[in-house]
Amino acid sequence: MSLTDEAIAEIHRLIQAGKLKPGAKLPPEQQLAAELNISRGSMREAVKALSVARVLDVRRGDGTYVTSLAPSVLLEGLGVAVELMHGKTVLELTEVRRLFEPVATGLAATRVSAEGLAEIRGHLDAMIEAGDDIESLVRHDAAFHRSVVAATGNEALTTLLEGISGRTLRARVWRGMVEASSAHRTVAEHEAIYSALADGDAALAQAAALLHVGTSERWLRRMHEAGT
């Protein structure tokens, strides 16, 4: 382990032990380095690394603070990491989506508020109005799913699924451009999801979401196997 890694581990330990709580200001660099018996150079590099990881927030002229450590903050970089992936990434991310999103949709059916349901309905209506405008359709498709997952009230799940959506979103646009019937089928599948949510039927909502995501995954797998 490098000296910088040791410094990172020490700061992690302080946070995990509750000695540095979310929102807390770190002691001055020189003082913290002395307390942890770490060089100032290693401490400086550790702070930079933890700042990139959104664990620390360096405020010029003020000091360094622990962030809120909320999932939306700590997982914010997931989308960037996903964008840099290569190979079968889109197919793998679609598999991840199939594992998480149907369960999240079922959970949303038991928790969605009247306001949340109205928002989901609004995105569904926008999808219907989009017609043959594939990019508009897919944009509201993504917003529909974000609203559904947000209805669970689970911030970690919402951030995780949002992080993988960028790559799968482009795959959905691609499918819409090459498969003539996909737009109509997509709208019908979303209508089924909405109806189950409106009825508060968790099992049906999960099944409808699984059918929807599974359809996209099967199409993408066929394209991958065909070398497209």
User: Average pLDDT, stretch 121-129?
Assistant: 95
pLDDT at res. 50: 92
Name the more confident of 87 and 193: 193
Distance (Å, whole) CA 106 – CA 4:
44
Amino acid (one-letter) located at 152: T
Distance (Å, whole) CA 145 – CA 116:
12
Structural fold of domain 74-225: Four Helix Bundle (Hemerythrin (Met), subunit A) (1.20.120)
Percent of the chain past pLDDT 90, that is, above it, reads 51
CATH annotation of 3-69: 1.10.10.10
- On the question of a common fold for 3-69 and 74-225, the answer reads no
Predicted model pTM: 0.73
Contacts of 17 (CB under 8 A, 6+ apart): none
Amino acid (one-letter) located at 83: E
Name the more confident of 121 and 219: 121
Q: Domain limits of the chain? A: 3-69, 74-225
In tens, the pLDDT along 146-186 reads 999 999 999 999 988 888 776 566 666 556 555 656 778 88
**Tokens matching residue 131:** 């017609």
Distance (Å, whole) CA 20 – CA 7:
14
Which regions of the chain does DSSP assign to beta strands (E)?
A: 56-59, 63-66
